[in-house]
Structure formats: structure tokens, C-alpha cells
Structure 1
Amino acid sequence: MHGEEIARRRATAWSDWITNADLCREFATVDGSGFPAGTRVVDLGVAVLEVKRFRPIHLQREAGLVQTGDADIVQLIVPRRGTVNATWAGRQDTVSVGDLYAHDLAQLDEIRLESDGQDDALELALVAIPKPVLPLAGEAMAPLLGHGVPVDGGVSGLLKRFIEDLSDERLSLNPADRQRLGMVLVDLVTACFSSLLQSGPAPRPGSPRRVLALRIRAYIQRHLNDPELTPRSVAAAHHISVSYLHRLFQEEGDTIAAWIRDQRLQRTRRDLADAALTDVPIHEIATRWGFGRAGDFSRAFRATYGVSPREFRSHTTRWASRP
């Protein structure tokens, strides 16, 4: 079976919903002429990007009907031409060119795709990512779903531009490129969501304490594979006391031990989702990122992501399998 055919069969839950009449009370375009939709699928392994072209369309989900798996998918919508009017969990939002919208399919009630007035052509870039792939608990993401994401000069702007670049039909990528870029995309979504969720006071960006905190985090990133990495060793490497080190992290709403663990878990998650590493045993990946005991790693992974490392790898393999 060719890769393109596999990618199409593994297309997003959006495609399943939009082509399944059983889920809709109304299934017609605004002008009643049907909805010729051109689709280009970019298989990114841990995510799927679709570029869809429509004529104006109005769809409405039948009450109570939700596809299996809808709740497990986070979808990002980037309009390239036209406007999206979505009703999600009873809340309405309008998304147009230049915007970014995040939601899960389970609570999407109604959607209208409208032209911008120049012609009837609409074009959307749609990204679907399984929730277990993102290192954020479902309840943590809940406040961000069903909303337009503020696009600015920060991470959200980078994310939007990255999706737009991936949507360029002139872009030619081999399967390995797509796999790697899929993981970059997941990291950008994670960074964007984490930035939006971040709250509480932090040291002024240019302050000496902030500079030191950033230097310490960079040091930890470089030494995550060292099983002897501890708050005491980090403090000693920066000639500060352990208590002062703890205060630096507390000022940013974290603890150093939890941050080290979370960074290690994120690295193992990436490696477990990497199709190029499917033959590497899970315990070797855990050891590579500083987890000395397989049991401790498995418990920490399940507590953070809600599934075991083996279940996570199995889930992502279904998205990232190759012919």
C-alpha cells in the first residue's frame, strides 16, 4: 500500500465527521449545490495536516451523536481563505484569515464556512493531534479549547506560521522529514498552550535572578541524561545554595525536582512517538533520559499522561505507522 493511500485512510476525525451524514441534521452547502472539497493530506506521524478547499457550507451535528475518538483529538484550524463560524459547547466564535482556533471534535455542535466576498472559494489548514501525544492533561487544556488562540509575536505566531509553511503545496518532504516536523509541531503546540495557561508573577525578564533561572534550566536540559542530576548537584554547579535554587523555581510556580522529572518525561515521550525508534526497548529510552528504575519511570509516565509508556507507544504507532 502506498504512503499517500495510508495517509488518506489515517485522515483526521474532521474528515470522518464532515463526510458522515449520520452525524448531521443539515448536510448541505449554503447555496445548496453540494460541497466539492479538494483535500491534500500531509502525514506527520504523530499528527495529520489537511489542507481543505470548500464552497460555503453549513453543518450541524445531530444531538447526542459523537464519534468514538472525537474527544481524544485536538484540532487546530487556520483559515487561509474565508471565515469559520463555529459553535462549540454552545459557545460561538468567528475565525478568519490570520487567526488560529483550537477545539476538540466532541463538543463541536455546528460550523459555517463562509467566503470572504471575493469568490466562493474557502481554504482551511486543519491539524489533528491525539491528546495523549501532548504532554498536557486533558483537563489542563480544557480552558483553551473552543476559543480563538491569540496570535501575537510570541509562540502562537510561530505556531501559526509553522502550520502555514507546512501547508504550502510546493513543500516537498520525505517520510523522515514529515516525522521529525510532526514532533516539532507537537512541541510548538505544547509551548503555545503552556504559554497561554501560564499565570502568576515571575521575575522581570532582564533581572539577574531571571537570567540565572534561565541559565539553570538550560544546564538541566543539557544534563537530563545524567541519573545523578539532582537539586544539590545543580546548585553546586551554579555556586548557590539548594534553598536559593528552590526559591528560584518557586517564584515561577514550580519545583526543581518536578521540572527535572517533567523534562525527562517529555524527552521519553518524544522518543516513544518517534517511528525511527520503535525497535528501541522502552527501558532503554527511559535510561537514556535519566530514569534509573523502569518501575519508577512507568508510574511517573502514567501519572502524567494517563497511559503507560507501552500504551502510549502503541497509540502513536497507529498514527505513525509506515508502509
Structure 2
Amino acid sequence: MLVETVFRSADLPTAERFEGWRQVMSATHAPLELRSTRAADFHARLRLIGLGDVAVWPAEFDPTVFVRTPKLIRQSDPEIFHLTLVLKGHGGVAWSRQEATYGLGDFYSTDSARTSETWTSQELIRTVGVEVPKARLPLPRGRAEQAIGRPMSGGTGVGALLALFLTQLSENTGQYTAEDAPRLGTVLADLVAALFAHTLETVTSLSPETRRRTLALAIQAFIRQNLHDPGLTPGAIAAAHSVSLSHLHRLFRDEGVTVGAYIRGQRLEGARHNLTDPALHDTPIHVIAARWGFPRAAEFSRAFRAAYGVPPRDYRHGPSRTAA
């Protein structure tokens, strides 16, 4: 399991909660001045997920103003870029002559070396942030710095891929081991670099390996979103991403799996989750199988047994049943 550190303001006496929040934010990000209209009885919860030198932190907290001053920068600069995906509420960031506001589904960004004032709306805000050392981004630093403060959406393109990765990771860290952490950190660094490059329209400045990994992740996300489509074939996937069929197969070969095996595995996993869903208890197994791209019940039963060791009916009702 990934290593997590959790902060809950409710664990502290009321009078100490806001100061506790200030301390944890300064330790998590960089030294900060904090203000809040609800400092007298502050609510905050934060999980810090370490992925090597990359960090992800899902959080929810009362209205807060975060200030990074020249004095604090001189005191400590960890040389990191920070991106936050807004899941509930809104906010904004101001620099010396620049200001930007952000809403649901947007990313806002900061640079630990720049003075800034970040504020959130007058309601509980929910976010998931990622911090990446500048040295980890496979992108020229000068170009990366130009992306800070520019509009970045988590709803389309590379931004949607990064948002999906962050939310799925933060919602289910239990599926990963501590040994996975450095690899996940590398994936996140590549996705952040790709989002910066896309924002600046300089994708060609990314290394070939970063472009390859980003494309592979985008294709995998596309497959997972279209598993119910009977027309989900290697040819259709390649066409949707403007790559040749041979290039598509090569991408998956580099990941140690064929395109067909990846699609089949994802469909089986979707069907397995449906079989353990109490809301679908009365849905016939052949109907579930057809929804996940297995129109022939016998074929589905053979594939399911090969993957999970038991037939789907035994899995649904037997001792091997697990929670979805």
C-alpha cells in the first residue's frame, strides 16, 4: 500500500485547528502565510500521498487565503510546481501583475519561486493537488515556468487524462504497493509536463519517451471509457488517436500486453465488478456479459474462469465473492 500521511483538524482542540492547518500546509508545500474568515473554528482534512519526490494531496478545507511572500521565498524554496484540480468550489491566484480565477474542473498552478496570493471561495472547497520538483519535468524549465497561471482545463485532452489519473489514484490507493510509488511519480511528472506543453502548444519540446508514455496513457483511458462499444477494435482505436495500427500495437507491446488482451482484461474486470454489485444481483449473467462485450455466454464463461479461477456464477454466489 502507498504511504499516506493524514491531517484532520478535528483531531485538534478548536483553538489550535487553524494553526495546525498553517503548519501542515507550510510543511507540505512551502512556508506560507494563511488567513481565513473561519479561523476560530476551522475545518480541514488532507491526505498526503508520497510517490517518491512527487506528492499528491487530496484535501477539503474551509475558505483560506495562502500567501507566498518574497521573505518566505528567501527563507525556503523547494523548487516545485504545484497544480490543484478543483473538485468543489472555486478560487483564484494573483501574482504581481497577473490574476486568474478557477472553477469546477479547472487546474490552478503555482510556482514555489514566485510571490503569489491564492484564495478559495466562501464555502468548503474540495481539491486534489500534485506537486512535482522542477527538475523532474522532462521540459525546459523556462518553458514550464511560462505555463504557470495559464488556463488549464481538467475536462478535455491531456488535462482530462491528468484529472482522471489523480482522482482514481486518490480514491483507491489500496490497489498499489510502496514499490509502485516511484513509477506512479514518473507517470504524473510526464502528465504534468504534457499538460504544460499542451497549454503552451509546445508538445514537440517533450522527450520522445514522455510523448510515448502520455500517448499510451491516453489510449488506455480511451479504451476504458469505450469498453461497452462493440466497435472498439484496434483499427478504431488507432484511427481515434491518429496513429498507425502498427504503432498502436508497438505501444502496447512496450507495456507487455497486446491491444486485444488489454481490452479483454478491462472488460472482464468490469463484468467482475458488476457480478458483485448488489444492485445488479437479479440481472442475468449473460446480460452483464453482453454489456461488457461478450455476446456469447459460453465464451464469457470460459474467459472469466481462465482469468479468475471460477465460473462467473460461482464467483457471484460463492465464497470467492469480493466487494466491488
Distance in structure 1 (CA, Å) of the matches to 2:38 and 2:203: 49
- Partner of residue 188, structure 1: 191
Aligned with residue 150 of structure 1, among 149, 153, 158: 153
For the residue of structure 2 that corresponds to 1:167, the secondary structure is: helix
Residue 139 of structure 1, CA deviation: 0.4
- Partner of residue 131, structure 1: 134
| CA shift in 2, pair 1:156/1:62, >3 Å | closer
Aligned with residue 63 of structure 2, among 56, 59, 67: 56
- Partner of residue 17, structure 2: none
**Structure 2: gaps of 5 or more residues:** 8-22, 205-237, 255-324
Report how many residues are paired: 203
Which structure has more relative contact order (CA 8 Å, sep 6+)? It is 1
Residue 36 of structure 1, CA deviation: 3.4
For the residue of structure 2 that corresponds to 1:48, the secondary structure is: strand
- Partner of residue 113, structure 1: 120
For the residue of structure 1 that corresponds to 2:151, the secondary structure is: strand
Provide the alpha-carbon RMSD of the alignment: 4.0
For the residue of structure 1 that corresponds to 2:171, the secondary structure is: coil
Report Cα offsets for 1:233-288 as digits up to 9, x if no partner.
xxxxxxxxxxxxxxxxxxxxxxxxxxxxxxxxxxxxxxxxxxxxxxxxxxxxxxxx
Distance in structure 2 (CA, Å) of the matches to 1:33 and 1:18: 23
Distance in structure 1 (CA, Å) of the matches to 2:44 and 2:57: 12
- Partner of residue 313, structure 1: none
| CA shift in 2, pair 1:173/1:85, >3 Å | same
**Structure 1: gaps of 5 or more residues:** 224-323
Contact 2:197/2:203 (CA < 8 Å) preserved in 1?
no
Residue 188 of structure 1, CA deviation: 1.4
Residue 67 of structure 1, CA deviation: 5.1
Distance in structure 2 (CA, Å) of the matches to 1:157 and 1:144: 17
| CA shift in 2, pair 1:177/1:149, >3 Å | same
Residue 169 of structure 1, CA deviation: 5.5
Report Cα offsets for 1:50-70 as digits up to 9, x if no partner.
112211122334454315553
Counterpart code for 1:153: T
Residue 104 of structure 1, CA deviation: 0.8
| CA shift in 2, pair 1:19/1:152, >3 Å | closer
Distance in structure 2 (CA, Å) of the matches to 1:59 and 1:99: 18
Counterpart code for 2:139: L
| CA shift in 2, pair 1:197/1:218, >3 Å | farther
Contact 1:39/1:53 (CA < 8 Å) preserved in 2?
yes
| CA shift in 2, pair 1:168/1:192, >3 Å | same
Q: 1:122 and 2:133 equivalent?
A: no
- Partner of residue 103, structure 2: 96
Report Cα offsets for 1:199-233 as digits up to 9, x if no partner.
599xxxx99xx868x9799989999xxxxxxxxxx
For the residue of structure 2 that corresponds to 1:136, the secondary structure is: coil
Residue 159 of structure 1, CA deviation: 0.9
Distance in structure 2 (CA, Å) of the matches to 1:200 and 1:127: 21
- Partner of residue 177, structure 2: 174
| CA shift in 2, pair 1:146/1:52, >3 Å | same
| CA shift in 2, pair 1:131/1:143, >3 Å | same
- Partner of residue 85, structure 1: 92
- Partner of residue 16, structure 1: 27
Distance in structure 2 (CA, Å) of the matches to 1:166 and 1:53: 16
TM-score by length of 1: 0.52
For the residue of structure 2 that corresponds to 1:195, the secondary structure is: helix
Residue 87 of structure 1, CA deviation: 1.1
Contact 1:52/1:123 (CA < 8 Å) preserved in 2?
yes
Residue 172 of structure 1, CA deviation: 4.0
| CA shift in 2, pair 1:5/1:52, >3 Å | closer
- Partner of residue 47, structure 1: 54
Counterpart code for 1:16: A
Aligned with residue 161 of structure 1, among 160, 164, 182: 164
Distance in structure 1 (CA, Å) of the matches to 2:30 and 2:80: 17
Percentage of pairs with the same residue? 26
List, as ranges, runs of 4+ consecutive aligned residues in structure 1 with deviation greater than 6 Å.
214-223
